[in-house]
Amino acid sequence: MREYRQNLTLRVHLQKLREESPLVPYQPSSPETTLISRYVGVLGPDPAGRQPFEVLGTWIQSIPSRIGSNKMLDLAVQFFVDSHATYRDDMHSKRKVARASKAKALKELQLAVMNTDNKVTYDILLATKLHYAAEALLGLDTMYYAIHAFGIAELLRSGAVAEVDDDHFWNLIDNTYVDDRASMAVMHVFIQCPYAVALIREAISNPEDTIALAIAMSYLEGLMQINVSQHVAELIETTVSVVPIPPSPDVADLMPDTLEFNSVQDFLLCTRSWMLQSLLYGLADTLYRYFPAEAALSLLPSPQQLRIIDVDSALCLQKSHRWADSVSKHIPLLTMRLHTPLQMAIAPWHRMTRDLTTQRSPSASPGTPSDVVTEVTRAKRMQAWIVNETNKIHKNWNVATVDEEILIEALEALSGEKMPDWLPTRVRFIPQEGEMALHMEFENRTGTYSTGRIDEPVYDFGVVASVTRNITQ
């Protein structure tokens, strides 16, 4: 009954938008040519391949040619450029302008989605992506951008997209789609990882259930036999170069060189593949720790092989940071995109520290006690460096910093360990009074759920998608 009232309230809100829309003439605050000029100014002078906004996809270059043809898209562009102005200089007057642009753009986008009759257009996807970027520029801490990402996925799931731009459509779907074989292999494995985590957690929770263990082991074996490293090897060989510049002076003795990439798109796919490898080897390590005998008889790589590739993936992510930071100083989008992969790079060093300090056999490295101390010291320095660098990214985007212990707990949960109490197990977007509120559910020790809510409601086109397609159920 409660959900029925929520949905009814939302439908009333949307119907009001529909009735008011014809009464409000389309009067953009900037003429078409001015809007194009402002948008091009946001992109800046960076050449293709080193354009920071390409983290969103190559479609960003096509927007100027589309301005003036669609009211909904023009308003989304205006919201985007006004948000960028606020990001560059967060004055009250500029934030007020951005909020006014958002209100107009959001209403038009809601109406467009409501009137699609499940026939999604390419312009709706572009506008939604622009809203996503605009909200991120206004503040990551609000999480408003997250519901746009959620909504894009739901719109794409609804069926075919009309009037697509073939040059950029697939890049819009997955903005790392640069090499067919490599990108598809990475995506194919990545989307199956959450299920692998759940299977491994289930096996750990029920150690006497041999069937649960067999399913988890077999599933992970299948993912690792795809051999992501082999699929991306040619891409890495042809687009990544090693330069004798350390990422920072304080770790020059540990990392005397760094990596450079031919383009932003190459950077995105390579770093995503290294993050995936770290995730996979973390899952395998969990099985070895809880079920050593069974894992030893499996098709999983040996602990020694796991460590080599695990550490190499972490190093590649760390060595990517300097190039990402160099691409655009005025808006650090690439470092923001590297943020999560870089945090994932803590896990291999944490696993090494844990194994060496406990001298677990057979994965503990052979050597004298002094060798072990040296390796542990190295791993701890690497962890500290990553925490420091990722927290710099947090500060650049006005997001609260996190400590190493919290990051490690989250990373262990990603490897199949028990979920910590502070980590939400479910996130839902629930319509409330014409808006969307982000609700986070936490599992209690009793197995029931408690609900938390972000202080401010999150509202955008996901409202329409959620209600009309019942995706919050």
Is 437's pLDDT higher than 70?
no
Determine the pLDDT at residue 392: 92
Is 155's pLDDT higher than 50?
yes
pLDDT digits (tens, 9 = 90+) for 41-83: 888 887 777 888 888 887 888 899 889 888 999 999 999 999 9
Backbone angles phi, psi at 78, to 5 degrees: -65, -40
Whole-angstrom distance, CA of residue 112 vs CA of residue 108: 6
Pairing of strands 120-121, 161-162: parallel
Within 13 A of 349's CA, how many CA atoms are on the CB side? 27
Determine the pLDDT at residue 453: 44
Domain termination residue (choose one: 373, 392, 414): 414
Residues 19 and 164 in one domain: yes
Q: Is 370 exposed, middle or buried (0-12, 13-18, 19+ CB in 10 A)?
A: exposed
- Residue 436 placed within a domain: no
Per this entry, what is the length of the chain?
Answer: 473
**pLDDT range class, residue 303, cuts 50, 70, 90:** very high
Closest CA relative to residue 271, chosen from 303, 248, 297, 239: 239
Residues 32 and 59 in one domain: yes
Is 301's pLDDT higher than 80?
yes
Determine the pLDDT at residue 438: 64
Among 388-392, 395-399, 440-444, the least confident range:
440-444
- Residue 142 placed within a domain: yes
Residues 162 and 189 in one domain: no
Higher per-residue confidence, 468 vs 8:
8
Residues 197 and 158 in one domain: no
pTM score above 0.95? no
Give the pLDDT mean for 347-369.
72
Give the pLDDT mean for 311-331.
91
Give the pLDDT mean for 435-455.
54
The range of the structural domain enclosing residue 390 comes to 180-414
Domain termination residue (choose one: 385, 414, 443): 414
Mapped onto helix, strand or coil, the DSSP state of residue 443 is: strand
Is 424's pLDDT higher than 90?
no
**pLDDT range class, residue 361, cuts 50, 70, 90:** very low
Higher per-residue confidence, 259 vs 369:
259
Whole-angstrom distance, CA of residue 391 vs CA of residue 422: 20
Helical segments of 89-227, H only: 92-114, 122-138, 144-157, 169-173, 180-190, 193-205, 210-224
- Residue 469 placed within a domain: no
- Residue 288 placed within a domain: yes
Residues 219 and 291 in one domain: yes
Domain termination residue (choose one: 140, 175, 210): 175
**pLDDT range class, residue 281, cuts 50, 70, 90:** very high
* CB within 8 Å of 27: residues ≥ 6 apart: none
Determine the pLDDT at residue 436: 60
Adjacent-strand bridge partners of 440: 427, 452
Range with the largest mean pLDDT of 63-72, 313-322, 392-401, 421-430: 313-322
pLDDT digits (tens, 9 = 90+) for 77-126: 999 999 999 988 889 999 999 999 999 998 898 888 877 666 788 888 88
Among 85-89, 135-139, 330-334, the least confident range:
330-334
Q: What is the average pLDDT value for the chain, to the nearest integer?
A: 80
- Residue 333 placed within a domain: yes
Residues of the chain with pLDDT > 70, as a percent, come to 75
Is 348's pLDDT higher than 80?
yes
Whole-angstrom distance, CA of residue 214 vs CA of residue 204: 12
Residues 375 and 261 in one domain: yes
**pLDDT range class, residue 257, cuts 50, 70, 90:** very high
Is 463's pLDDT higher than 80?
no
Backbone angles phi, psi at 456, to 5 degrees: -105, 145
- Residue 441 placed within a domain: no
Q: What angle do CA 158, 414, 401 make, to 5 degrees?
A: 95
Mapped onto helix, strand or coil, the DSSP state of residue 422 is: coil
Could you give the angle at which helices 303-319 and 264-290 cross, rounded to 10 degrees? 150
Determine the pLDDT at residue 434: 54
Residues 69/36, Cβ–Cβ less than 8 Å: no
Residues 165 and 196 in one domain: no
Among 10-14, 296-300, 349-353, 420-424, the least confident range:
10-14
Give the pLDDT mean for 231-235.
88
Residues 139 and 34 in one domain: yes
Residues 152 and 279 in one domain: no
Q: How does 440-450 read in b/e, with b if 16+ C-beta sit within 10 Å?
A: bebeeeeeeee
Closest CA relative to residue 345, chosen from 319, 375, 373: 319
- Residue 300 placed within a domain: yes
Pair of tokens at residue 229: 């490293």
One DSSP character per residue, 23-50 reads: GS----SS-HHHHHHHHHHHH-SPPTTS
Higher per-residue confidence, 167 vs 107:
107
Number of structural domains the chain divides into: 2
Residues 208 and 345 in one domain: yes
Higher per-residue confidence, 168 vs 23:
168
Closest CA relative to residue 216, chosen from 279, 294, 149, 139: 294
Is 202's pLDDT higher than 90?
yes
pLDDT digits (tens, 9 = 90+) for 17-36: 555 554 444 444 446 788 99
- Residue 410 placed within a domain: yes
Residues 168 and 221 in one domain: no
Residues 202 and 169 in one domain: no
Determine the pLDDT at residue 357: 85
